[in-house]
Amino acid sequence: MENEAYLALFIEESKEHVQRLNNQLLLLEKNPEDLETIKEIFRSAHTLKGMAASMGFEHLTALTHALENILDALLNQALDVSQEVVDGLLTACDVLEDMISSIEEGHENPHDISGIVAMLEEIATAQPQETLRKSVNIQHADSQRGEGETLYDVRVSLSDDCALKAVRAYMIVQALEEDGYIVEANPPLEAMGGRFQEKDLSFLYRTKQKESEIKNRLNSISEIKAMVVHPHSQSDGTPKKGDKTSPTKTIRVSMERLDHLMNLFEELVIDRGRLEKIALDVEHVELQETVERMSRISSDLQDIVLTMRMVPIEQVFNRFPRMIRSLAKDLGKKVQLTIEGESTELDRTVIDELGDSLVHLLRNSMDHGIELPHIRQQQGKKEHGTISLKAYHSGNHVFIEIKDDGGGVRYDHVSKRAVERGIVTQKVADDMTEQEIAQLLFSPGFSTAEVVSDVSGRGVGLDAVKSKIESLGGAVSLVSKQGEGTHFFIQLPLTLSILSALLVVSDEQIYAIPLSSVIETAFIEHQDIRSIHHKRVMDYRGTIIPLLFLTDILSPSSLQKKIAQRSFVVILKKGASLIGVVVDFFIGQKEIVLKSLGHYLSGVFAISGATILGDGQVALVLDANSLMK
């Protein structure tokens, strides 16, 4: 079990290092003379090699060693940063990513890395240069020492009864490499895998950390009997017990545990609602005060639990610079991607579902938006196009914007295609505004591409994006100006499981409408309900909007009720669309826990789930997107 836990940790951290390699290599491509970037790349590659060696993955170790050789030559300026070098290193990163994925999937057959290693060796020897070093000596380590860095001797002794010495060695290497660089190791890093049985480890370690910080970090690892940490210039051969450990500031928690915690808290929210209902019914002052206090505490707990599930959106954003670079080369375009707000946090569930939609939008901007360099020059634009990706919080939502400075939407072309595909009639198309025409791009099967390619033209892009974003409780729209570019807007809820909702009653059934879709509630007099083309509408602040009676939609078999002289209306909004929904009466606002209806009831129209109320009743949660359609 412990081996499995550390394998999962190895996979997670290896992915992070490969992503860091990708990002830093793209920076190096833009700034070939930046030695600090090369050092960062070398550090990540070296850390990954040490981790792979300590876990016994020989092929992964060999490939990262070949990477190190090139990076060492770059550091020593025996090799110049060229396009060939960057391309080769990025290709190696792709292979590393595939190898880590294979390990994650449990495939034990090693990759054939002879081809990629030979390519890296050829790159390393492409220019006249000194023989690449096989090991780092102390003098070279001193010369490479950055500002504020110190060279330490670190000696660690494992407990006599330590059963998994290779795992402990891996944890020690990982802890040291997190904030520094292992110059030498004894036994060598490559020997610290598989059946490793040594209990005494020593390292020559370069870092900006203080001696006490190194000890505290290592003290957090169990089954260490003794350690010595001192600057390399000193000599102290007597192992001594480390200082008292300081509390670790962060820990890793599996998503399964967080999901279980979230499920338990959802049950707590339901029981809290029941207690609030009981306290009101019995009219007991002391009980009501206790319940109110418990509600405040559980609200604070709710904020903490939800925050624990939040992860930075950079986990999705980080993969896009590499993708844009590859697409630009394939399409013969020059594009610069700028990213803002990558530290914006979003629920892990939403993050996991979001990636493909953003890929669709970015590929759309690359293929349909950004023009070829010579066309941009003819139009008086810069040769390099720009795509900006931005994320930010606002209220209980996260907004993501994708903007390009390309050619924009050709409204006449979109309108013509929509008529040809039977999406709208010519008469309707002639009366549509530019914004309405732009929304046609999200229609199923719609595409303006003349030729089907690997990038676009199959008519599944924007429709798939709209469906996915709406399934996450969000909305997507676009604004475009011909010749100046296109701007996509995505709105997403911070979390999917606990919602603020408006409780309403229709035909004696309680429904919950997510407040994220509600603009306002109102009353409407009978004489203000109009009929246009046999459909009911109402005047909402000078705009004619559709009017739906919830009873007609969800209880069509019930007896038709006579329209009251005064009706309750909920105004809903999704994107640019507005709609009025008539209900019997309002109950009020409530925090609810959204529960799935299960496989057999998942296809019920306009219902996205259910929730249990304080009195034990079940309320169905309305899907505003379905009502809009």
Across 367-385, b (16+ Cβ under 10 Å) vs e yields: bbbbbebeebeeeebeeeb
Q: What is the DSSP string of 100-159?
A: HHHHHTT--SPP--HHHHHHHHHHHTSS--PPPPSS--HHHHHHTPPTT-EEEEEEEEE-
**Is 130 considered catalytic here?**
no
- Active-site residue among 22, 29, 68, 177? 68
- Active-site residue among 23, 69, 216, 364? 364
- Active-site residue among 46, 65, 360, 368? 46
Q: Could you give the CA distance from residue 463 to residue 539 in angstroms, rounded to a whole number?
A: 30
Q: 516 — alpha (psi -120 to 50), left (phi > 0) or beta?
A: alpha
DSSP 455: S
Pairing of the two strands 585-593 and 498-506: antiparallel
Amino acid at the residue 395: G
Across 560-594, b (16+ Cβ under 10 Å) vs e yields: eeeeeeebbbbbbbbbebbbbbbbbeeeeebbbbb
Helix, strand, coil share (%) of the chain residues, nearest 5 = 45, 25, 30
Q: Could you give the CA distance from residue 303 to residue 284 in angstroms, rounded to a whole number?
A: 29
Q: Could you give the CA distance from residue 276 to residue 603 in angstroms, rounded to a whole number?
A: 33
Helix axes of 35-55 and 2-30: crossing angle, nearest 10 degrees: 160
What is the distance of C-alpha 251 from the center of its chain? 20
Helix axes of 320-331 and 348-364: crossing angle, nearest 10 degrees: 20
Q: Which residues pair with 1 in a beta bridge?
A: none
**Is 3 considered catalytic here?**
no
Residue 626: CB atoms within 10 A of its CB come to 14
Contacts 24+ apart (CB under 8 A), 246-254: 246/216, 248/220, 252/9, 252/12, 253/308, 254/8
Q: Cβ contacts of residue 188 below 8 Å, gap of 6+?
A: 53
Angle (CA) 299-304-310 rounded to 5° is: 125
User: In this structure, are residues 499 and 594 in contact, taking their beta carbons and an 8 Å threshold?
Assistant: yes
Tokens of 327: 């697409």
Helix axes of 58-75 and 35-55: crossing angle, nearest 10 degrees: 160
**Taking the CA of residue 472 as centre, how many other CA atoms within 13 Å lie in the half-sphere pointing to its CB?**
27
Q: Cβ contacts of residue 283 below 8 Å, gap of 6+?
A: none
Amino acid at the residue 44: S
**Is 371 considered catalytic here?**
no
User: In this structure, are residues 24 and 40 in contact, taking their beta carbons and an 8 Å threshold?
Assistant: yes
Tokens of 477: 């729209």
Q: Cβ contacts of residue 517 below 8 Å, gap of 6+?
A: 572, 573, 574, 624
User: In this structure, are residues 452 and 458 in contact, taking their beta carbons and an 8 Å threshold?
Assistant: yes
Q: Which residues are catalytic?
A: 46, 68, 364
